[in-house]
Structure 1
Amino acid sequence: MAESLLDIAEVAERSGLAPSALRFYENRGLIASAGRNGLRRTYRPEVLDRLALIACARGAGFTIAEIARFLLATPDDTKLRAHMAEKARALEEDIARLTRMRDGLRHASTCMHEPLVECPDFKHSFRRSAALTEPSPGR
């Protein structure tokens, strides 16, 4: 079994994280080492999947505390499930906003209007984007 363990340097290289980040995640309970090989921490290969999940969650705006709670969650944790659904809705809004931005930039990259930022199609992309963040009338 020992030959299937990865030392901290290999996990760092394969995950793209610094060893200090791995130690930090371990101290926060997000990952666990399988032991030590001399002075070096060792990890089971599955830690790479856990680190990919952590990286994805961090990229989506989750805090370390939120991730730690999520990793320990059970199906009956209704409060956490509600928070996850709320976060999913927020991510959907971010994706839609970023998609509109991407589309506007793609248009601008080929548009011949002078100046580019005055192009009606380009401006329309941003008006649609801003409309989602402004409060509705009557609020």
Structure 2
Amino acid sequence: MFDIDIAELAKRAGLRASTLRFYEEKGLIASTGRRGLKRLFAPDTTERLSLIALGRASGFSLDEIAGMLDGPDIDRDRLRAKAADLDRKIEQLTRMRDGLRHAADCGRPTLMGCPHFLRIVKVAGARRRYRAEAV
């Protein structure tokens, strides 16, 4: 199969050419040469870009993704750690969603009169203060 130019790769991947140049600069993808002024890429670069997109959607930084794609296989311990991190975020988001639903459906005349809502506010404030002190 023939190499594709940067414009075609950008179109296939749904990315801007500037993003592809940035990814190349970061070592995430590599061009195979040039045709005139346009960079050329192997057709399987689209698969690598899909892996990068999956990593970004999972919360990995570009540097973390580059580190995992450098070796012969992806670091499975890093994947497990990220999955555990996502589990914690899902639990937190689930609690926030449930709190918002309670606030929306609460029969009290005002939310500040709802003991359950006040507990949510208190916990959120304590977390914010804890994070601020940790920094």
TM-score by length of structure 1 reads 0.63
Tell me, yes or no, if structure 1 residue 52 matches structure 2 residue 50. Answer: yes
The secondary structure found in structure 1 opposite 2:65 is helix
The secondary structure found in structure 1 opposite 2:43 is coil
Q: Displacement, 1:96? A: 1.9
In structure 1, the residue matched to 2:91 is: 96
Pick the aligned partner of 1:43 from 26, 41, 44. Answer: 41
Answer whether contact 1:97 1:129 (CA < 8 A) is retained.
Answer: no
In structure 1, the residue matched to 2:11 is: 13
1:48-100 deviation line (CA, Å, top 9, x unaligned):
2221221232233322221111002346x9xx554443332112101222233
Answer whether contact 1:9 1:19 (CA < 8 A) is retained.
Answer: yes
Give the Cα separation in 1 of the matches to 2:81 and 2:113. 36
Within 5 Å, give how 1:110-125 maps onto structure 2: 114-115=109-110
Q: State percent identity of aligned pairs.
A: 47
Letter paired with 1:98 = L
May I ask how many residue pairs the two structures share in their alignment? 129
Letter paired with 1:6 = I
1:15-43 deviation line (CA, Å, top 9, x unaligned):
23221111111122111223323221222
Answer whether contact 1:26 1:32 (CA < 8 A) is retained.
Answer: yes
Pick the aligned partner of 2:31 from 10, 30, 33. Answer: 33
In structure 2, the residue matched to 1:67 is: 65
Change beyond 3 A, Cα 1:115–1:103:
same
Gap runs ≥5 in structure 1: 135-139
